[in-house]
Amino acid sequence: MAIRQIRYIGDPLLRKVSREVTEIDDRIKILLEDMVDTMYKEEGIGLAAPQVGVLRRVVVIDVGEGVLKLINPELIYEEGENIDIEGCLSVPNRAGKVKRPEKVKVKYIDETGEEKVIEGTGLLAKALCHEIDHLDGILFIDKMIEEVVVEEEEEE
Ligand code: ZN
């Protein structure tokens, strides 16, 4: 396990489309573990592989309900609207209002290779959409309706 270096806005890698994972080998398993460690260390609720410099469709999320590790996540259903404030580990000291679906269903493969569907509402729906966007080179600031002033050293 290891902490990986976060890529910040301006890094061209964050704007690239990530490739699907075709085989869950040791490299992918180590990547998932490192991403979980990095997410917790940086106190994020989600992290996508391109944020640590790896252009593969891999995402980790923990909105306080336990860790989720998603390989090749794909939005298959969305419903409703939810405007809420978002931030991103790759876009430090910025936050803004973004419109996301209130409810989503995401198809993915877990680390054992099993195909699953997860349903998320509210914060989880927001995190799923935010992280999947990263896999397509999209940042929340691209979708931001209104920027919000961030206080330094803000605690959640
Ligand atoms: Zn992000």
Tell me, in angstroms, the distance from the centre of ligand 1 to residue 51's CA.
Answer: 8
Exactly one of 131, 151, 154, 155 is catalytic; name it. Answer: 131
The pTM for the full model equals 0.94
- HEC string of 25-89? CHHHHHHHHHHHHHHHHCCCCEEEHHHHCCCECEEEECCCCCCEEEEEEEEEEEECCEEEEEEEC
Domain boundaries, the chain: 12-148
What is the pLDDT at residue 82? 96
The string of pLDDT tens digits covering residues 41-61 is: 999 999 999 999 999 999 999
Q: Is 33 a catalytic residue?
A: no
CATH architecture of 12-148: Alpha-Beta Complex (3.90)
Ligand 1 center–CA 26 separation, angstroms: 25
Residue 125 · residue 103 · CB < 8 Å: yes
Taking the centre of ligand 1 as the mean of its atom positions, its distance from the CA of residue 89, in whole angstroms, is 6
pLDDT tens by residue, 102-149: 999 999 999 999 999 999 999 999 999 999 999 999 999 999 999 998
Neighbours of ion ligand 1 (CB under 5 A): 88
